[in-house]
Structures are given as structure tokens and as C-alpha cells.
Structure 1
């Protein structure tokens, strides 16, 4: 038996150091684009309240451009985050849901009484439902197609129509009955098409990292030149064609006997090739 004091002393374990959890940061670059898109929607609402509908159209279309960039910037810089996804959805709800509904109501629908604000609400709720469905179905939807008209495109159809009419000199539209009813129809079409199961091409399989023939760059330059000829009519025409294209694809698939749903039920079926990618 040892007489050393160390042998009699109780063993002492070193006290573990408390490590503070690392604080989660927010990626600034993609969220700058999202905030800028949100500002575009807010700016459009303010301009519509002041009767400046052309400026309101600028705000919505700029918001649409910025919204198309934030996700790509996040993927290119590897700065995706759950916060960014939620922020993007909230920004979309303002810029492409609430803002267009308020703008078209202020522009034309308020002259229709209750039917006017009901149509505006149908559009606004359609945007909310479409965004919620997109967020919950993102893992099971064919990436090549959107399920229903995407909210930025729906906003572009609705606001593009307002921009064209305002540019043509129609003022005080809420007192022009026939035009108010046309706006009523366009609003319902855009709102309801967002919540259909009609497939709209997403362009997500277009890669900006691949090389392309020189003629493609020439075509892009010509496209910009065509837009500058008369932006209201050209942009509205492009988005109107896109807004109708889903029904053309739906009818074509029906005629060919192909599946029309973009929701995948299995990853093994040959008909669902390309899903879950």
C-alpha cells in the first residue's frame, strides 16, 4: 500500500469547457436580390395608389427579373439556405400576389363594387395557394415544368395588360365599364390558372454554364432589340403566350395519351423519367 499523498487523493477529471454554439448567419448576396424584388412590389403598390400605373408596371417587371436571379445567384455561389427560401416566398407573395391584386383593383375593379374586390381576392388567394403548394411539392414535381402558372408570370400577364391599356391612353378605367369587365376576366384567368394542374415549362433545364452556338447570342441580342421597340406590347405579348402555353401542352398530352400531371408517384416508372432531379 502506497503512503504517497497522491494515492489517497480522489481522482479529479478536468472540467469540460463550455463551447458556445456558433451563430447562424444570413447570406447577404442572394437576399439582396430578394429584398430588391420586395421593394419593387412595394414601390408598385405606392405608385398605383398615386395613379401612376406605368411606374407600377416598372416595379412589378423589375421585381420579376430580380426574383429570377436570386435563386440562380444562390446556387452559383453555393449560398442556399432555408432562410432564403422562406424570404423568397414571402417576397413573391407581396410582389406577385398582393401588389398586382391591389393595382388592378385600384386601376379598374373598384368600379365593379363587390365583384371587383372579389376578383382581386381570387387572384391574391390564388397566388398564396400556388406558393404554398410549390413549397410543399418541391421534392415531387417534375423540375422541367411548373404545376400551374408561376406567380411572376401571372403578375406579368395582369400588369402587362394594365401597362398596355395605360400606354394606349385609357385613363379613369374604373369608370369605363367594358374595360373594367375585361380586367375582371384577365384577373380571374391569371388567379385561377395559378392553382390549376396545367404544366408550364420552367426553363430550369437551361444551363448557363454550357457553351452555345454564336447564333444563340445573336438571337438574344435581337430579342432585347425587339423589346425596346415597344416594351408594353412586346412584354405583354410574350407573357400572354406563355400564360396560354400550358393549356396547349395539356391538350397536346391529352391527345397523345401521355400523363398530364407533373407530380411524381414513383422514381422507377419510365413515364416519369426526369422527375426528382
Structure 2
């Protein structure tokens, strides 16, 4: 059961992500997004549960990557195409394909590097490129804003096409991005951090679309901070390696 439980959670995440496509076919955009977000939450805990139960395996890692490719690459691409991009069939479909392919390429790159010791971003507590679940959330930013405001401009196929292409590029880029290991609140503000987390959860219950949109924008704003902070760590390491005069 130790080996079955984390893989069962991964399978549940896969089913949740693909169910988002079914809701999108019915035009239920809220449930489509919710299903993919639920897949993201399940994806966030399966690896931790595997480490907690000491049930890590190569099979689990491969299954997780395959599930991520479908839940955070294929499913968002199809949902966004059915939502807005079908009005621009050629370029809209190409943008959807680009997003799904870039998600698969990112996960393949991650698997190829999983056993390498020389990973500068990982050793410094950063990720390389935007992770797949976050990329899916960022891709839905126009949909979040459309649900929150009701403005038809956010559903414009050209806008969504350009935005989807940008997010696809960020997923396969070599930019250092924040990871949970790089977020270390100081001891004297940990109570405030807990309170903030509670308020964010309450905001998700009361104003989910505005909250999701704001969280996506905050992540985008923090990307330059991650780039600058990684550059600082890299310079410090380079200075430490120089021989003493």
C-alpha cells in the first residue's frame, strides 16, 4: 500500500485533469478550470506523500510526468481552444499545440536531468523555466479575468493566442524561477505568513476568479526577482571558487 497510495493520487490527478476537457466540451468553464486546478493540488502532494512513506520509485516519477503532460499541457490547451481559440482556428490551434508540446518538452527535460549532479538552478533552490502546473495556471489568466469581470476583451482569440504562446515559451526557457525550497520566510514573520495563507484561502472561497488572477500576476511579477536573486547567488559562488590571493 505504501507504493500504491502515491501512484493512486497521481492517477486521480490525471483523471481530474482530463475531466476538465469533458466539462469544457459541455461549456462549463468554471468546472473545467476547477478540475485542472484540483489536478494541480493532487500533483503537489503525491511526491511528498511518496517521500513521507519512503515509496519513491522510477515508475512513480515516469507516471507523474505523463500525468502532468496530459493534465497541464493537453487539457489546458484543449480547454482554451474550445473557450476562445476556435474563433481563430489556424493560429489558435497552433498556439494550443505549441503549449501542449512545450509542456511535454519541459517534462522530458526534467526527466533527462533528474539524475544529473550538475544542476545550477536546482542546487541554488530554483527551478528551470515555469513548472507545468504553474504554466497551466498562467495560461488560464485571460479566463480568470473574463470570469471575474465579464469583459469580452479577455476572450479575444488573438489575445489568448499570443498569451498562450508566451506561457509556452516560459515553460521551456532556461530562466530561473522560484520553487518552494527558495521561499524561506524569516522566523519573526512566520505568524504573519500563516495568517496571509489563511486569508488567501478565504479569498479563494469568496472571490475565486479575482484571487486566481492576482496570484498569477504576483507570480509573473516575482519572475524578475528570481532572475536577479539567482544572479546574485551565482556571483557569490563564483567569488567563493576563486583561489585566495
**Same structural fold, with TM-score higher than 0.5 when normalized by the shorter chain:** yes
Q: Distance in 1 between matches of 2:237 and 2:3?
A: 39
Match of 1:165 among 130, 146, 153: 146
Match of 2:56 in 1: 80
Alignment length (residue pairs): 232
Q: TM-score if structure 2 supplies the norm length?
A: 0.84
Q: Is the Cα contact below 8 Å between 1:149 and 1:243 reproduced in 2?
A: no
Partner SS, residue 38 of structure 1: helix
Match of 1:156 among 133, 137, 142: 137
Match of 2:207 in 1: 230
**Residue 233 of structure 1, CA deviation:** 1.4
Q: Distance in 1 between matches of 2:82 and 2:196?
A: 38
User: Gapped runs of 5+ residues in structure 2?
Assistant: 241-245
1:111 aligns with 2:92: no
Q: Distance in 1 between matches of 2:198 and 2:89?
A: 45
Q: Specify the structure having the higher radius of gyration (Cα).
A: 1
**Residue 243 of structure 1, CA deviation:** 3.4
Match of 1:4 in 2: none
**Residue 221 of structure 1, CA deviation:** 1.8
Q: Distance in 2 between matches of 1:244 and 1:195?
A: 19
1:245 aligns with 2:226: no
**Residue 80 of structure 1, CA deviation:** 0.5
The correspondence of residues 56-205 of structure 1 with structure 2, limited to 5 A, is 56-138=32-114, 139=116, 140-141=118-119, 142-143=121-122, 144-169=125-150, 179-204=156-181
Identify if the C-alpha distance between structure 1 residues 272 and 41 changes in structure 2 by more than 3 Å, giving closer, same or farther: farther
User: Gapped runs of 5+ residues in structure 1?
Assistant: 1-24, 261-268
Q: CA RMSD in A?
A: 2.8
**Residue 236 of structure 1, CA deviation:** 2.1
Q: TM-score if structure 1 supplies the norm length?
A: 0.75
Identify if the C-alpha distance between structure 1 residues 84 and 177 changes in structure 2 by more than 3 Å, giving closer, same or farther: closer
